[in-house]
Amino acid sequence: MAGPRSGSVRPGRPGALRYGPMQLREIMTSGVVTAGLDADLLKVARLMRDHNVGCVVLCDPEGEPAAMITDRDLAIRSLAEDRPGSEPAREHASRPLVTGEPDMDLEEAAALMVQHRIRRLPIVDGAGLAGIVTLDDIAVRTGDLEVAQRMTQEVIEGALPGFFFHERG
């Protein structure tokens, strides 16, 4: 029997994230929806709707990624707080912006995402924003839905208070 192919999931101890050699450039989505730091909430929401995405990367005047605003940020930090749509999106963005690099191994990126409790990882190279990797990308492009489910659970558990995961009587 041959060893794992490049990009395949390698068996490991239960619960461990183990991948064959795969770099983020192989699974990232290159078309990233962006807006300037001065974009307002309404513009960002419309970009998400029009491009059918769950996040927009906010870039500084030089085009460098500076922050990211997600659909959850819009719902929890702005709409639920009754903030006007004319407010700058940067005030409601997730920070700090955690990024990866195209040559980063998938396993390293997965660990970074779990550590920072994020579902989306913008990919930056020397020329600026190169793409984005999401938990869905990891599931679809590696063919291992179980890995993405495990990562999602770890991300969610890290973001919510512990009492949500205790049995209730």
User: pLDDT digit string (tens) for 45-75?
Assistant: 999 999 999 999 999 999 899 999 999 999 9
CB 135 within 8 A of CB 155: yes
pLDDT value for 126 = 84
pLDDT value for 167 = 47
pLDDT value for 144 = 65
pLDDT value for 140 = 75
- Residue 35, pLDDT > 80, answer yes
pLDDT value for 21 = 67
CB 45 within 8 A of CB 39: no
Tokens matching residue 69: 């605003």
Q: Give mean pLDDT, residues 4-20.
A: 39
- The model's confidence at residue 15, banded by pLDDT at 50, 70 and 90, is very low
CA distance 74 to 26: 30
CA distance 76 to 116: 19
Q: Give me the helices (H) in 30-144, please.
A: 41-51, 71-72, 106-116, 135-142
Residue with more model confidence, 84 or 45: 45
Span 106-115, pLDDT tens digits: 888 888 888 8
pTM of the model: 0.74
pLDDT value for 4 = 33
> Among residues of the chain, what percentage have pLDDT more than 70?
73
